[in-house]
Structure 1
Amino acid sequence: MRLLALVDGSEHSLRALDYSINLLNGIGISENRPKKSAKNNHELIILNVLPTIHSSPGILTPIKPSKDGKSISLDQYTNQVNRIIESEWVKNLEELKIKYEKSGVRTSTKILKGSHSSRYVAYSIIKFVKDQKVDLIVLGSVGLGGVLKNKALGSVTRNIAEISTCPVLIVP
């Protein structure tokens, strides 16, 4: 089984990731089939969609974002911020991969470039799911931008559930 766990750093997404590994550890285990061989048949893909920051190319006013006093364009600044965010997520995903590989399940990580549109993010994820022949998507009920007070589904979660052609497991 190929399982995709979506992670954005929120408590709900990390809980969904834990649930994913527990689910994979329990699949296919019987008295005649030892736990170790069952795990080797499964793969966990941990996916993050980067929240890319965009700037308008028409804004030419230089800014001074650092202590050295050098002026750079807003476009250069947002590119720097995006590279920092991506670098941090590469580290975060590598740490998660190491942690979850200890359970014996093959684990890989992937980063997709995002957008401000939850619908676009959902379509990007579903395209990835189809391309990678994922069997199950596991995600938290809300992410970093979710409305916790109302216990509503986050917009990305809702969009994925609406457009996915493979099963979706939503972890509260």
Structure 2
Amino acid sequence: MNRLARRRSSAFYRTQRGAVLYVALIMLILMALLGIAGMQVAGMQEKMASNYRAANRAFQNAEGVVRAAERSAEAIANGESVDASSLLQDGDISPICDDGYDPALWAEDQLGNATAAVNVRQIDSCVMGESSMAMGAPVGEASPIFIYQITGYATDDADANSSSVVVDTIFKL
């Protein structure tokens, strides 16, 4: 009886063709392809996150340049001294408001520059219709109104910049 069982089992094994091996290899290849696709997606997401971080950092740096220029412009308007390391000095404010200045062209000139830059124009003489909230009634001694157009440029990193931003704003004192 033992021989008969052995004969049947050996005949059974001879009729097998290894289909499980083929199915397992195909499944292994599919899993490898899924893994490769997953790695590519993760790499792309990491690049997008890095690009977003660089653009956000450049924007924050440009905002900081503009805010520092606002503080310097306020100090100059009040007759105070400005720190020598400031991007904006007393003679840097252009008093001519209608000089054909274009912030986009100025920004193109700054591209590739690793250092922060600022351009400030005093435009209060160009703005018409400045009035008090009391509809023309004098409140007291009128104080001068200063309006500046401040354009600031900055990059994400001074050493290896990959993103640059220009911020153009109007500042009123």
Question: Is TM-score (shorter-chain normalized) higher than 0.5?
Answer: no
More helix by share: 2
Q: Relative CO higher for 1 or 2, CA cutoff 8 Å, sep ≥ 6?
A: 1
TM-score range, shorter chain: under 0.3
Q: Which has the larger radius of gyration?
A: 2
